[in-house]
Each structure stands twice: as C-alpha cells, then as structure tokens.
Copies of this chain bind each other. A is one copy, B any other.
Amino acid sequence: MKKVGNQTYRIENPVTILETACIVGPKESGGPLAKDFDKCVEDEFYGESSWEKAESRFIKDTVDTVISKSGIPSSKIDACYAGDLLNQCISSSFGLRELNIPFFGIFGACSTFVESLILGSIGVDGNFFENVLCAASSHFCSAEKQFRFPLELGNQRPPTAQWTVTGSGACILSKSGSGPYITHITPGKIVDMGIKDANSMGAAMAPAAIDTIITHFKDTGRSPNYYDGIFTGDLGYIGKEIVIEMTKSKGYNLKNNYNDCGVLIFDKEKQDTHSGGSGCACCASVFSGHLFKKLKDKKLKRILLIATGALTNSTTSQQGESIPGIAHAVSIEI
C-alpha cells in the first residue's frame, strides 16, 4: 500500500475481485439489466413471511451463490464485511448468521457495498486475510416501511423520490487471482450541505460524491478520461445532474463517461421509478451483475465506482435535522 495525496491509497499487491453474485426482485427483473443478474425472483416476499425476512433471504442466497461460484470453500474465507439499510442491520446479521465466518457488520447506508470493498481490500492488502466476502442488501418494501410509510397506506411519492432496489450483491476479494483488481481506494468524509428533504436523497448525497470524486482525481493526478467509466451508486437522475454540473464548475468534465447505477438499473420510460434506483443493493447488484461482467469481458478496463450513503433516519428527519452524506470510491482495473 502507498498513500497517494491526502485521502487515497494505492493497493501495491492489487486485490482481485475473484467472483461476484447478485439476486434481485421483480421490478429489477423487468429492467434493462435483467440478463446480467444471477437470479431474478418474481415474488417480493421470496417465500418468506415478512419483508425483513425476505431481505435476509436475498443476502443469504446471494452470498451462498458467490461462494459456490468462486469454488472457494467457506472455511477458506477469512472474514465477511456486510451491511444493509434496516435498523441494526438485521438483514445481514440474520441472513448471514449461519455463515460461520468471522463477521464485521458495517453501516454506510447506501455506500455500504463500496465501504465493504474498501475495508476488505485493507484486510487483504494488509496481509491479514487471503479471501474476504463483501455483501450488501436492500428491499423496496422493507425500506419504504421503515424510512417512509407502509406500502399499504398507498402514499404518493414525489418526483424526486427514488426506488429502493430489492436484492443483494456480493463479491469475494482475494490475494490471488488475475483481476479485475481493486487498485486504489478513496474513503470518504461525512458531508452535510443542509438538505432536509428525505424524498430527495440524490440531492442530499451528491455533495459527498463530488467531494470524494474530486479528492480522488486530485490525489491520483488522474483526470476523468483515465477511466472507461465512472459510476456513482444511487444518486438517480437528480443527483447525477448535480454531480455533472458541480464537477464541471470545478474543472472536471464527467459528461462523456459518467453514469449512475440508479439510472442504469430501471427503464425511465416503462418503469415508473421517478428519479431512479437507490438502496445498498443498487450499486451492489449493478456492479456485481452488470459492471463485473463488462470488466471480465474487457469491455471496460478501468472504472471508478463511488457509492453514496445518506446517514439519516426517520427520527432525525422528524427532529428537523439535515441529511449528512458520505461517498466511498474504489478504482477497479484489469
């Protein structure tokens, strides 16, 4: 490892993303990326009796799938880093309680997946672990129930609202392997620009994304053109526009090669998700399904993946607080 600039670290013995898996729900299965997912589940309940149990099953089955695809026995996986959006991260802890692998629960809201990649890379590059498992999940119904209103109320959603992705993405990072490699990590700081609208998360999280993206470019000396693709996790249409405009005003032109996983996962015309997808599983499933395949096929050779999280809950909203955001970035290259 070598520190680069203020806040970025170059992984000297690049960490291989050995394998990925993702399982998604019915809405995602009707979207443009459906063919890239390992499994599309047609039942929001996934055969369980509650939304929370369904979400736990999504992460459990996704993790079982990635372990099975990797061919690495779970006894050779040294640690698991996982988290989700539910109170006390119960999707991960219940879904993964039979895993029998040392477990680090993490919470970065929708930035959780990239947070897990960063912490996992530190553990592998730091010579602690041979193989680690990184995973995150979210569920539209459990998230609506917990953060906004139970679906049964039939509340209207404003145009700035995003649609929480139902599903899970997971990957195995390894000391040995032939890539794609995690080559740089830029962990983010908490950024709070005072936005208070819990139905406009893209706007609330965009300042953190901008901070981390610009920090990454300054630290590495790279320009946006260095990457074949730059992807934020779940800023949606509104957040994406803010990122393009604000980075442009700072001298970085992202227009040619930047997109957002929340924009990619749903069809704007046919699937009425308003401002696009969100949730831990948005970045996790789009990366683990879509982007990882493109990296393996060498259609993408260098990407910057930035997941953003809104570090808020319904209590803080009700108490009149603003919404702090955070964004973590990793460079992935072949």
The CA-CA distance from A105 to B311 in the complex, in Å, is 9
We find that the number of chain A residues with CB closer than 8 angstroms to chain B is: 55
**With A87-B87, A190-B93 in contact, is A106–B109 under 8 Å at CB?**
no
Asked whether A258 is an interface residue with its Cβ less than 8 Å from the other chain, the reply is no
Residues of B within 8 A of A104 (CB): 106, 108, 115, 118-119, 187
Interface membership of chain A positions 97-108, coded 1 if the CB is closer than 8 angstroms to chain B and 0 otherwise: 101111111111
Asked whether A267 is an interface residue with its Cβ less than 8 Å from the other chain, the reply is no
Q: Is the CB of B321 within 8 A of A94?
A: yes
Interface segment out of the listed A124-132, A226-234, A285-293: A124-132
Please indicate which of the listed interface residues A97, A108, A321 has the most CB atoms of chain B within 10 Å of its own CB: A97
Residue of B nearest to A50 (CB): B319
Within 8 A of B (CB), among A181-220: 187-190, 192
Residues of B within 8 A of A180 (CB): none
Q: Is the CB of B97 within 8 A of A324?
A: yes
Residue of B nearest to A12 (CB): B127
CB distance from A200 to the nearest CB of B (A): 17
The CA-CA distance from A189 to B118 in the complex, in Å, is 21
Q: Is the CB of B94 within 8 A of A1?
A: no
Asked whether A225 is an interface residue with its Cβ less than 8 Å from the other chain, the reply is no
Residues of B within 8 A of A253 (CB): none
CB distance from A327 to the nearest CB of B (A): 11
Residue of B53, B125, B187 touching A126 (CB-CB under 8 A): B125
Asked whether A52 is an interface residue with its Cβ less than 8 Å from the other chain, the reply is yes
Q: Is the CB of A90 within 8 A of B126?
A: no
**With A90-B315, A128-B9 in contact, is A105–B106 under 8 Å at CB?**
yes
Residues of B within 8 A of A321 (CB): 94
Interface membership of chain A positions 294-320, coded 1 if the CB is closer than 8 angstroms to chain B and 0 otherwise: 000000000000000001111110010
Asked whether A257 is an interface residue with its Cβ less than 8 Å from the other chain, the reply is no
The CA-CA distance from A311 to B105 in the complex, in Å, is 9
18 contacts between A and B (CB under 8 A): A1-B128, A3-B128, A50-B319, A86-B315, A87-B314, A88-B107, A88-B313, A93-B326, A97-B192, A97-B324, A99-B190, A100-B189, A101-B189, A102-B189, A103-B188, A105-B311, A119-B119, A122-B122
